[in-house]
């Protein structure tokens, strides 16, 4: 039970439908779409489109999208992979010729073909109810007429002023007064509004062919990119089969690789081998979660890649033998100093939307440009912010995730879904780049191991192991005694550079016929119901 003397928020509760997003305008839009007769898929796409306007640093139509969906309360969970591929002419040699050993954020080599618009159109055509024009209309109106800047949006925007100033179009659109808009100021994106109108009128041809595609391609090629109109015209996402694991009587569903959802399942498989008792934020419990994450992330960095271009050992990653082996390495007396070798050679800004409608259609939907404002490159006529998802590639020859023509990178964004006994239980997601797999496992454990409600679990202090050694980023709200004990065991705790992650979730109470929802306090958003 929540302590009402603490400055936290109550869990949202409703009967008929609910939406949880990281921005009030997106949550309100989702509810309005459902009140107008739309279903959960319509509402999720509408909310995501609104966030492309009002949270332009976090997401955009120049990014990627993944979705999980469960129709009419069932456990028949479907998945869509809306992540884009590299241009057909991009090879490791392109980077070698420029003396690069990593993919630079602002390089055209970081820009894979955006997959979000393909995903929206395909998912709407197959699972939506309202006309697509009605679904996108709120986003067009906000982009054209303007939206008021909220606190977290301003904070993230201000941190990217130098990035935005380096690109003429980005500076013109996103630094209209030579700086990031302040809280309460009104900002507009007329180019985005016009581009969205073209997509409504022409479907995928309004983005992947014609003037918008020509704008993106010509700009990228002017910077040295190898993108072609054919790369955009041939872009397609895929319906895929979710990967799953059982956890405390529930089935957790994730999108399969190239996403890191399978790593969330591996972490849960490790946690399942430890008894959950006592304080969910005790040093022992956090020690286990940190080490489970470090071990699972080592496997991720060794093995995860585009399964169309590399052999990804899905069966081994989900096997009980691997979970047993990794769990057996965790020593509560001290931090691991050497992670195990794996048999094969050996990132941030996102929006997540959770929606359940009256018919108990459940949608878990995530859309991203990777870093805040992506690559910082903006197509000059269409106003499309181009993501930098190609930064997730390795440039190490022979690595499964090495960059290659028409290849998808390892992807950090992952929607989640929980089912139980033939029915959907909970669409959920946790934003935050490479934190997301740990965030999924952390949230699931706190809800199903410790019986916390969604808002309580989301509110907890967070930490995340750094990719090097035993360093762990920790939010300042982590109790000092806990931090001291973890450091005594060999972890090196460092202050988090940013608030860690962001979560949204909705849980269906089948017995009472009601919905409960939680929304991230580190963001501006809210969970609301009808």
pLDDT tens digits, one per residue of 473-490: 999 999 999 999 999 999
Work out the pLDDT band at 338, boundaries 50, 70, 90. confident
Alpha-helical regions (H) of 36-90? 40-54
Work out the pLDDT band at 343, boundaries 50, 70, 90. very low
Q: Averaged over 118-130, what is the pLDDT?
A: 98
Question: Of 112, 245, 350, 419, which one is the catalytic site residue?
Answer: 350
Q: Judge whether residue 87 has pLDDT over 80.
A: yes
This prediction has a pTM of 0.96
- 100 burial level (CB within 10 Å; 0-12, 13-18, 19+): middle
Q: Averaged over 336-341, what is the pLDDT?
A: 81
pLDDT tens digits, one per residue of 353-402: 999 999 999 999 999 999 999 999 999 999 999 999 999 999 999 999 99
pLDDT, position 4: 79
Strands 492-495 and 471-474, by their bridges, are: parallel
pLDDT, position 347: 41
Q: Judge whether residue 451 has pLDDT over 70.
A: yes
- 397 burial level (CB within 10 Å; 0-12, 13-18, 19+): exposed
Distance CA 96, CA 80 (A): 34
59 is catalytic: no
**Side-chain half-sphere CA neighbours of 425 within 13 A:** 17
pLDDT, position 342: 55
Q: Averaged over 55-83, what is the pLDDT?
A: 98
Query: What's the angle, vertex CA 312, arms to CA 330 and CA 119, rounded to 5?
Result: 110
Q: Judge whether residue 84 has pLDDT over 70.
A: yes
pLDDT, position 308: 96
Residue in the block written with tokens 């930064």: 391
Q: Judge whether residue 35 has pLDDT over 80.
A: yes
């Amino acid at each position: 039970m929540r302590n009402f003397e603490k400055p936290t928020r109550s869990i949202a509760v409703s009967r008929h439908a609910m939406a949880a997003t990281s921005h009030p305008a997106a949550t309100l839009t989702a509810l309005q779409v459902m009140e107008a007769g739309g279903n959960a898929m319509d509402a999720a796409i509408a909310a995501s489109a609104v966030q492309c306007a009002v949270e332009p640093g976090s997401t955009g139509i120049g990014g990627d999208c993944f979705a999980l969906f469960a129709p009419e309360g069932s456990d028949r969970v479907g998945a869509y992979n809306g992540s884009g591929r590299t241009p057909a002419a991009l090879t490791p040699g392109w980077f070698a010729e420029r003396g690069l050993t990593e993919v630079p954020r602002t390089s055209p080599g970081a820009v894979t073909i955006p997959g979000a618009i393909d995903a929206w159109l395909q998912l709407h055509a197959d699972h939506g109810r309202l006309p697509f024009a009605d679904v996108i209309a709120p986003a067009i109106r906000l982009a054209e007429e303007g939206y008021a800047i909220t606190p977290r949006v301003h904070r993230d925007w201000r941190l990217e002023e130098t990035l935005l100033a380096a690109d003429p179009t980005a500076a013109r659109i996103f630094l209209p007064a030579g700086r990031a808009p302040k809280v309460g100021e009104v900002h507009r994106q007329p180019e985005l509004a016009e581009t969205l109108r073209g997509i409504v009128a022409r479907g995928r041809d309004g983005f992947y062919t014609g003037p918008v595609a020509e704008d993106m391609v010509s700009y990228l090629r002017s910077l040295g990119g190898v993108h072609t109109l054919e790369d955009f015209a041939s872009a397609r996402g895929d319906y895929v089969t979710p990967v799953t694991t059982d956890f405390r009587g529930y089935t957790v569903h994730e999108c399969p690789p190239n996403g890191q959802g399978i790593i969330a399942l591996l972490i849960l498989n490790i946690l399942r081998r430890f008894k959950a008792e006592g304080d969910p934020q005790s040093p022992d419990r956090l020690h286990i979660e940190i080490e489970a994450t470090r071990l699972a992330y080592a496997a991720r960095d060794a093995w995860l890649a585009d399964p169309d271009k590399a052999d990804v050992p899905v069966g081994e990653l989900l096997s009980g033998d691997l979970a047993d082996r990794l769990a057996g390495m965790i020593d509560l007396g001290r931090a691991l100093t050497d992670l195990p070798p794996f048999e094969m050679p050996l990132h941030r800004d996102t929006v997540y939307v959770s929606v359940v409608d009256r018919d108990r259609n459940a949608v878990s939907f995530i859309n991203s440009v990777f870093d805040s404002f992506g690559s910082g490159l903006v197509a000059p006529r269409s106003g499309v912010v181009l993501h930098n998802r190609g930064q997730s590639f390795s440039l190490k020859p022979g690595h499964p995730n090495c960059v290659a023509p028409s290849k998808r990178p390892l992807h950090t964004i992952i929607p989640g879904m929980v089912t139980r006994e033939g029915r959907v239980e909970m669409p959920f997601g946790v934003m935050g780049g490479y934190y997301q797999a740990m965030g999924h496992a952390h949230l699931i454990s706190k809800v199903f191991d410790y019986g916390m409600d969604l808002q309580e679990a989301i509110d907890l202090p967070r930490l995340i192991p750094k990719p090097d050694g035993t360093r762990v980023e920790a939010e300042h709200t982590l109790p000092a005694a806990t931090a001291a004990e973890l450091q005594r065991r060999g972890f090196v705790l460092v202050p988090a550079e940013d608030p860690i992650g962001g979560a949204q979730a909705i849980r269906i109470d089948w017995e009472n016929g009601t919905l409960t929802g939680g929304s991230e306090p580190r963001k501006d958003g809210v969970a609301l119901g009808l």
